[in-house]
Amino acid sequence: MSIALPILRPDSADVGQTPPPAPGQARGPGRLIDSHGRTIRDLRLSVTDRCNYRCVYCMDPDFRYMPKRELLSLEEYLTIARVVASLGIRKLRITGGEPTLYQRLDELIAGVGAMGFDDIAMTTNGSLLDRMPLERWRRDGLDRLTLSLDSMRAQRVAEITRTAATPQTVIDAIGLGKAAGFHPIKVNVVVMRGVNDDELADFADFAREHAVELRLIEFMPLDSSKAWSRETVVTADEMLAAIGRRYELVPVESCDPASTSLNFRFADGAPGRIGIIASVSRPFCGACSRLRITADGKVRPCLFSHEEWDVRALLRDGAADEEIRDFLVDSMWTKQAGHGIGSADFTAPARTMSAIGG
């Protein structure tokens, strides 16, 4: 099998030093809102742009990382976490790149775990979890793990990731996570037409066998070469139809109105669940509650933002928490109403997912 997908380049977005000031109505105690009436409660915090995989839909083999001096320090990440907690952020997801490559991850987890967040999660490819202190992370406040697996076939996994990884790599990581007390464990799958869409029912088998929440993700336009097209997208309806030919699924209502996924259980009561993140065919922008901060300290109001705001400069100038809080309030007031993927004038953001954070 030969996989040919567009190669992504590590280009940068348009970076503004200071966002325009938000109006007084945006400045309430303990809250963060945008100009479209949405309350921001979730932070995606990227702690590195580095990864030990070179997935064909994300990174080419010659991808150049940012110099380490441009990435935030542990103290700067913790300052951001402390400030967003004071603004009402209740959920924090640690992302990368591959966050297990971040050398001070243990200290970061312990630090944010003491800040009173309702939920702390981490997204990882799982390949290094056998070297990680999972039980300590659980005690220190990490609540959930999300892993990544894009095929059930060993050769295909190797070709997609450009590594020696196999499905067993993730199966072993699931076992380690469960043994350390993480529940539920989620497994992300980026579904790509002509690459792994013939495995959709097999992914459902995997969810049942390993009792995990499998998240099928529509392939999103995050390639700076702008080679993405709708023809590469397998829609939520197509995924459900493919699984439905093997298993009956029953919708599960989410208790979180800002949930990113359409959730289903198996009608026969088998363990495991299916979630579908349909960013392209069924966008959920109207309920979006997310803020993203990249490893180099750029505030991205939306995954598909073309503008980002540089909070690193404030952090390195020794700004007080109040100044950083005002900066984040101003930044989030610029959050767009939606990503606009379906519009004729849509253009993909310059940064790739590895540089933005999952």
Mean per-residue pLDDT of the chain:
88
pLDDT for 166: 96
Least confident of 177-186, 269-278, 333-342, 343-352: 343-352
Distance CA 327, CA 341 (A): 28
Backbone angles phi, psi at 204, to 5 degrees: -65, -40
Beta-carbon contacts of 212 under 8 Å, excluding residues fewer than 6 positions away, are: 174, 184, 185, 186, 187, 206, 272
pLDDT for 281: 83
Q: What is the pLDDT of residues 220-233, one digit of tens each?
A: 765 534 555 778 89
Q: What angle do CA 148, 245, 159 make, to 5 degrees?
A: 30
Please determine, for residue 142, whether its predicted confidence score (pLDDT) is greater than 50: yes
Q: What is the pLDDT of residues 158-173, one digit of tens each?
A: 999 999 999 999 999 9
pLDDT bin (cut points 50, 70, 90) of residue 34 is very high
pLDDT bin (cut points 50, 70, 90) of residue 17 is confident
Distance CA 118, CA 309 (A): 26
pLDDT for 282: 82
Is-contact 88 221, C-beta < 8 A? no
| pLDDT: which is higher, 129 or 302 | 129
Domains of the chain in start order, with CATH, are: 40-356 (3.20.20.70)
Q: What is the pLDDT of residues 323-351, one digit of tens each?
A: 999 999 999 999 888 665 656 555 655 66
pLDDT bin (cut points 50, 70, 90) of residue 6 is very low
Tell whether the torsion through CA atoms of 70, 300, 57 and 346 is positive or negative. negative
